[in-house]
Amino acid sequence: MHGKPLTELGIGQTARIEALAATGANRRRLLDLGLVPRTEIEAVRRSPAGDPVAYRIRGAVIALRREEAAQVFVCAD
Amino acid sequence: MGTEMFNIRRGHPDDLVIALAGNPNTGKSTVFNALTGMNQYTGNWAGKTVGSAVGYFRHSTASFTLVDLPGTYSLLSQSPDEQVARDFLCWGQPDATIIVTDATCLERNLNLALQVLEVTPNAVVAVNLLDEAKRKGITVDLNQLADELGVPVVGMAARRGIGLDELKDTVLRLATGHYQPDPQPLTYSPEVEAAVAALLPRVSPLIPNPRMARWVALRLLDGDPSVLDAMERYAPNQHAFGGETTWLPTKSHSAL
């Protein structure tokens, strides 16, 4: 899988989605939330416990759990 | 088939049935309320704990029953909300469908719009919250959007009643068959298209509507067993179209 996992994106940083490691229903869910390859994604803030993290994706802020974010691979712009 | 099995109460037996689909937070409820006013009731979808709202309105000489589907990002996930929305669009056969989208983040809303158009071409895309988009410096080329989607597009600011009349006019023309859009089907990779082509001869005898047949074939390729359950529940008579129906697994769909 190219790029680094989304979990390594720092708060305030922006990257571009390279690929999804998820399959089946989980992959479908991520795609439906707008996590389509080549989409720009920004880590907006971390919840107090550190998980989930809020990301800006195609004009909406969406919280992803760590296990979900680990399935998303991104590259710096 | 039809609205009865969905526990939908028509205002009048001759009512045209309109489905209202859209992402959450697109102002879908505002559109619903603006169209139906106080003339609505709420309940549950048959056999589900998913809330439903049905309302009524008249326009020109026609009367309409408007079915507010749960707000969803998709028709393809397995949440109860999405199943309800999908099953009604697929098997409830509404006379027309309104897809409410948010002009401030249109791109993310088009996912659901395209999924709906894969199931039913008889739809209008309502681009709502145009006033909010304008404040954010976003303009939407409604004509080009209509060209690319292949269905009518209506710009709206439903909170202020803007676009309502055009929406009702469009819905009337769609539901009465005066306007029959024919959006281009989405094309998938050659591998997927080849698999769809291989499946269609078995699916088409069961599902006479070509668009629906293609959609069912795609879901079978997804390995989505719920489509088979839905076919059994909502379209059992469809089996008669094929004669040879034994290929359809009833409870064990492990082959897929």
Collect all residues of chain A within an 8 Å Cβ-Cβ radius of residue B104. Answer: 59
- pLDDT category at B252 given cuts 50, 70, 90 is very low
CB burial of residue B97 (10 Å; 0-12, 13-18, 19+): buried
- Tell me: pLDDT of B253 over 70: no
What ipTM was estimated for this complex? 0.78
Q: Say what the pTM is.
A: 0.86
Cα gap B204→B214, rounded to integer Å = 8
Mean pLDDT calculated for residue range B13-31: 93
Interface residue of B106, B107, B118 to substitute, partner A, most A CBs within 10 Å: B107
Collect all residues of chain B within an 8 Å Cβ-Cβ radius of residue A31. Answer: 111
Taking CA atoms, what residue in B is nearest to A27?
B77
pLDDT at B11: 80
The answer to whether B108 contacts A28, with C-beta atoms less than 8 Å apart, is: no
CA B111 to chain A, closest CA, distance in angstroms equals 7
Q: What is the CA radius of gyration of chain A?
A: 11
User: How many Cα atoms are found within 13 Å in the side-chain-facing hemisphere of B140?
Assistant: 27
Among the residue ranges B11-15, B102-106, B211-215, B250-254, the one predicted with the least confidence is B250-254
pLDDT at B119: 92
pLDDT at B244: 39
Q: For residue B113, give the 3-state DSSP assignment.
A: helix
Counts of helices then strands in chain B (DSSP H, E): 10, 7
| Token pair belonging to B131 | 């006033």
Q: Do the beta carbons of residue B52 and residue B68 sit within 8 Å?
A: yes
Q: Where are the beta strands (DSSP E) in chain B?
A: 16-22, 40-44, 51-59, 62-68, 96-102, 123-128, 153-155
The answer to whether B111 contacts A24, with C-beta atoms less than 8 Å apart, is: no
Q: Is the dihedral of CA B31, B46, B233, B2 positive or negative?
A: negative
Mean pLDDT calculated for residue range A49-73: 93
Mean pLDDT calculated for residue range B228-232: 84
Q: Nearest-CA neighbor of B70 among B48, B53, B93, B55?
A: B53
> Domains, chain B, ranges and CATH?
4-175 (3.40.50.300), 190-242 (no CATH)
Interface check for B223 against chain A (CB to CB < 8 A): the answer is yes
Q: What angle do CA A15, A21, A23 make, to 5 degrees?
A: 135
- Tell me: pLDDT of A10 over 50: yes
pLDDT tens digits, one per residue of B206-227: 888 899 999 999 999 988 888 8
What separation in angstroms does the CA of B71 have from each of A50, B11, B22, B82? Answer: 29, 23, 5, 8
pLDDT at B96: 97
Q: Torsions phi, psi of B39, nearest 5? A: -85, 70
Q: What DSSP element (H or E) covers A27?
A: helix A24-32
Architecture (CATH level 2) of domain A4-76: Roll (2.30)
Q: Where are the domains of chain A?
A: 4-76
